[in-house]
Amino acid sequence: MADFESEDWTWPDLPLERWLDTYATLHMWTQIVGKIRLTLTPLINHFWNVTLYVTSRGLTTSAMPYDDRVLEIRFDFVDHNLEVTSSDGSRAAMSLRPCSVADFYEELMAMLASRGIEVKIHATPDEVENPLPFAKDRTHSSYDPEFAGRFWRILAQTDRVFNQFRSRFIGKCSPVHFFWGSFDLAVTRFSGRRAPARPGADALTREAYSHECISHGFWPGGGAAKEPYFYSYTAPAPAGLDQSSIKPPFAFYSHDFSEFLLPYSALRKAESPDDVLLNFMQSTYEAGANLAHWDRDALERR
């Protein structure tokens, strides 16, 4: 287990450049596990059936049906294992360690097959540039347990605050869940109205944004984002959203990302990170909901 004595346990530092290789590898590993869930579960609106969930030790698929059994796959970022359990009492684990995506894929599929679980997935990653099929990816092979643990700790605290924010809303709202394609933890509120069709949108985008929504999330960064951020967007975005006044003062609207952003580095230094995050979520929600004329009286818990 990594030593976190010198770090804030709840909101640890996560400099992107120090764990970028581990991030890239872990992204592919979560895609493999997520695609197993995608294969085994029926479609739920907005693809909510494919996501992973934060646990007290990592991330889980939650229960998935397989013939007459129920299967679960869990990432443990405390002891650094991947565990597969089944309702028939079987249990197996593999260590999370520096190894290629190809080796991880082969070992996990062999472990499932040895227990009579045959799952055929679309074995190429989604939402990344220049995707390599999992079975051929020997480029990504890093795993630093310290930074994997830091990332999970941030997810655990974010999940806690996001659920507090979620409890204020009585309209349709997503669970707090982890999207392995975009590698972010998110919670999304809906107005209850259908959204205009997006010209040229693919099937995934059409389903994801079929209804008006306001989403909040945590993303560890990447590409043009050189550090982790909390984000908020309204879809479709109403006119004037980018000019809205939001909290805290160091949050801002990014025209590059078309989202409100709250730098994680600023939040973790605040006297009360929970309050900073809740204020960001509430103020950005109000900005979008008011401009888009949501029926807030009917949707919010007073």
Q: State residue 296 phi and psi, 5-degree precision.
A: -65, -35
Q: How far is CA 39 from CA 35, 101, 119, 179, in A?
A: 6, 19, 7, 15
Separation of alpha carbons 73 and 69, rounded Å: 13
Whole-number pLDDT of residue 2: 43
pLDDT per residue of the chain (302 residues) written in tens, 0 to 9: 444 444 567 899 999 999 999 999 999 999 999 999 999 999 999 999 999 999 999 999 999 999 999 999 999 999 999 999 999 999 999 999 999 999 999 999 999 999 999 999 999 999 999 999 999 999 999 999 999 999 999 999 999 999 999 999 999 999 999 999 999 999 999 999 999 998 899 988 999 999 999 999 999 999 999 999 999 999 999 999 999 999 999 999 999 999 999 999 999 999 999 999 999 999 999 999 999 999 999 999 98
Q: Which residues pair with 85 in a beta bridge?
A: 72, 91
- Nearest residue to 85 via CA among 59, 62, 57: 62
End-to-end CA distance of the chain: 43
pTM of the model: 0.96
Whole-number pLDDT of residue 10: 86
Amino acid present at 45: N
pLDDT tens-digit series, residues 226-239: 999 999 999 999 99
pLDDT tens-digit series, residues 67-93: 999 999 999 999 999 999 999 999 999
Whole-number pLDDT of residue 8: 61
